[in-house]
Amino acid sequence: MRSQIRLAEEVAAALDAGRPVVALESTIISHGFPYPANVECARESERVVREEGAVPATIAVIGGKLAVGLSDEEIERLGTSRETPKASRRDLPLLIARGSDGATTVAGTMAVAAMAGISVFATGGIGGVHRGAERSFDISADLEELARTSVAVVSAGAKSVLDLGLTLEYLETRGVPVLGYRTDTFPAFYTRDSGLPVDARLETPAEVAAVMAAKWSAGLAGGVVIANPIEPEHALDAAEIEKIITHALADAREQGIRGKQVTPFLLARVHELTGGASDSANKALVWSNARLAARIAAEFAKVARRSPATGRQS
């Protein structure tokens, strides 16, 4: 599959020069927001990464190629098409063989980023263990990808429609460090504090980069979660959002929503029930994560130049 990677010139030049690069997902374009907010969010994410001195690499499957770095036209294409499927790791071979487009999930983006040699990825929130998973066995592929793929993921925790306690238990079992960026507790996407502890609190991008380098140079493969709470001015009320999520979950059960359709349904329903406030919070946390990811990538690039034994390129 490495022969199927298409690197944008800007991304390839940055990787060759050891400059910081930040991977960005494309499901946020095709499935995250309605048009044109989806395209605006993607372009603003790229702008924020550049503002911090890093190169953005939005990842998608375009015409059967694993595209690392998209043109404005390709972002527009993903944003306006209603037919683009989500692309997790399992979907990549099918999309390549068919010459199709696909919008990469957290898992899909991590897989392609690792193939390209990109070590830092910014997203909104990771997937996790769904509520009721003891009956449905519905666990996001994101967690398995974090266990196997050596990419650091900056997120505002896991999506709050999930079972966050079980998600953290799963990550612990699979050996994935969960690092709180200036927080002692795991954020809950729309809110800053789930009440659940992180593995360690770190205060600077340089500290995060040092942990990444230590993990991978020791031969400990797999990802790292950097939990970056939504900024206070954009956070939603925890009690109110929990009521809304409970309502949305009941709606999903009544309508027989299952599998990979559950999360998009719940997020859309939460959007309706909050009068759009959840989308504003979502955009704000995505941009905050992109900014932090760029700063971490810059510090990791310095570490990688000093110590090639990290085994990674920024």
Which residues form the catalytic set? 25, 159
Largest CA distance in the chain: 56
Report the alpha-carbon distance of residue 39 to residue 28 in Å, rounded: 9
10 Å Cβ neighbour count for 199? 17
| 152, containing H or E segment | strand 152-155
Distance between first and last Cα of the chain: 21
CA distances from 121 to 46, 99, 132, 258 (A): 12, 25, 29, 28
Residues 134 and 301: beta-carbon distance below 8 Å: no
What span, in angstroms and rounded, lies between the C-alpha atoms of 4 and 1?
A: 5
Q: Long-range contacts made by residues 299-306, C-beta under 8 angstroms, separation at least 24?
A: 299/205, 299/206, 299/208, 299/209, 300/20, 300/119, 300/120, 300/152, 300/209, 300/212, 300/213, 301/18, 301/19, 301/20, 302/209, 303/209, 303/210, 303/212, 303/213, 304/18, 304/119, 304/213, 305/18
* Residue count (the chain): 314
